[in-house]
Amino acid sequence: MNKNRLVPALAVAILAVAPSVASAACPDTGIYPTTANAERVERLVLCLTNEARAAAGVTPVTLDARLQKTARAFAVDKVVRGFKGHVDPDGDDIPERIAADGYPGGAAVGENWAGALETYSVKDTFALWMGSATHRKNILSASFRHIGVGAYLRKSGEQGSIVQDFGGASGAAQAPVPLTVKITSLGGKLFVSGHLEGATIGTHASIALQPTRVGRSAQAAVEPDNGRFAATLTKPLSGSVTVTVTALVDGKTVTVTKTA
């Protein structure tokens, strides 16, 4: 099992020799981690990972909801409890953490960690990993089929975390739930909010009430950094209504229907 972390002191030493990783296929990798763009950072790390694997002739890794949960929780835990290494203060290593989140045991697993700094872009951080033999081995390992990526920056000026968790279990990846919706009644209005996994710049969520009336539909822009969207619709005077939210993710239509 390969378990590797990258701390800022090591990052500076490697940066002098590691080439910058940039790609037309992975746009905007020059962005810097902030307190608001964690999901965007995660998507870019995934994109760069699969681009590097393709260049090495290795099959891509698929995002897995269980590994994603583990990676995100570990990224937060590293910042909140401030410990070093891959074993948390409870004594759990990556096999224990991913098993707790439901990922099958007995398969090859690996983990990369880097300190997320506002002065290091996503492509710079990835270049540090690729410039380190042990981190690069995880990224390019043909034993891994699935991945989870977590990014977290608690506040400006503080070091955050970027985590890659890899798994080699057989079988299909467990896809993340792409669309979640919450409905809140506010007097004569319905406040519809939600989260869209994998949102990119220009993504919109179509929100509509049934039966259809004036003021009961909206186009809500989805924030590309965190996948959030919201809209306020006119509530009917009586009776229940059906709220339908539709969005396009990776060329596929995703729909969630709820009764309010």
The CATH number covering residue 232 comes to 2.60.40.10
- Give the mean pLDDT of 114-125: 91
- Of residues 10 and 37, more confidence is placed in 37
Radius of gyration of the chain (CA): 20
- Give the mean pLDDT of 218-228: 83
In terms of domains, do 154 and 40 share one? yes
In terms of domains, do 161 and 212 share one? no
**Band of residue 8 on the pLDDT scale cut at 50, 70, 90:** very low
Q: What pLDDT was estimated at residue 109?
A: 95
**Band of residue 229 on the pLDDT scale cut at 50, 70, 90:** confident
Per the domain annotation, does 91 fall within a domain?
A: yes
**Band of residue 252 on the pLDDT scale cut at 50, 70, 90:** confident
- Give the mean pLDDT of 106-111: 92
Q: What pLDDT was estimated at residue 19?
A: 35
In terms of domains, do 31 and 98 share one? yes
User: How many domains, the chain?
Assistant: 2
In terms of domains, do 78 and 142 share one? yes
- Give the mean pLDDT of 16-33: 64
In terms of domains, do 82 and 156 share one? yes
Does residue 242 contact residue 209 with C-beta atoms inside 8 Å?
yes
Residue 8: CB atoms within 10 Å: 15
Q: What pLDDT was estimated at residue 217?
A: 78
Does residue 38 contact residue 226 with C-beta atoms inside 8 Å?
yes
In terms of domains, do 75 and 55 share one? yes
Domain of residue 132, CATH code: 3.40.33.10
Per the domain annotation, does 172 fall within a domain?
A: no
Helix 122-130 and helix 8-15, axial crossing angle in degrees, nearest 10:
80
Q: What pLDDT was estimated at residue 185?
A: 81
- Give the mean pLDDT of 13-26: 43
**Which letter does DSSP use for residue 28 in this model?**
T
| Domain ranges, residue 128 | 2-167
Q: What pLDDT was estimated at residue 134?
A: 95
Per the domain annotation, does 174 fall within a domain?
A: no
Q: What pLDDT was estimated at residue 2?
A: 54
What's the rounded Cα separation, in Å, for the pair 245 and 180? 9
Strands (E) located in the chain: 2-6, 62-63, 109-116, 146-152, 160-167, 179-186, 189-196, 204-210, 217-221, 228-234, 242-249, 252-259
Domain boundary among 167, 197, 222: 167
Among 26-40, 45-59, 203-217, 229-243, the range of highest mean pLDDT? 45-59
Burial 29-59 (b: 16+ CB within 10 A, else e): beebbeeebbbbbbbbbbbbbbbbbeeeebe
In terms of domains, do 153 and 193 share one? no
What's the rounded Cα separation, in Å, for the pair 240 and 233? 14
Per the domain annotation, does 173 fall within a domain?
A: no
Domain boundary among 167, 194, 219: 167
Q: What pLDDT was estimated at residue 136?
A: 97
Domain boundary among 121, 141, 167: 167
Per the domain annotation, does 75 fall within a domain?
A: yes
Q: What pLDDT was estimated at residue 259?
A: 76
In terms of domains, do 236 and 125 share one? no
In terms of domains, do 116 and 211 share one? no
Q: What pLDDT was estimated at residue 71?
A: 96
In terms of domains, do 22 and 136 share one? yes
In terms of domains, do 222 and 163 share one? no
In terms of domains, do 52 and 122 share one? yes
Does residue 57 contact residue 166 with C-beta atoms inside 8 Å?
no
Least confident of 37-41, 91-95, 164-168, 238-242: 238-242
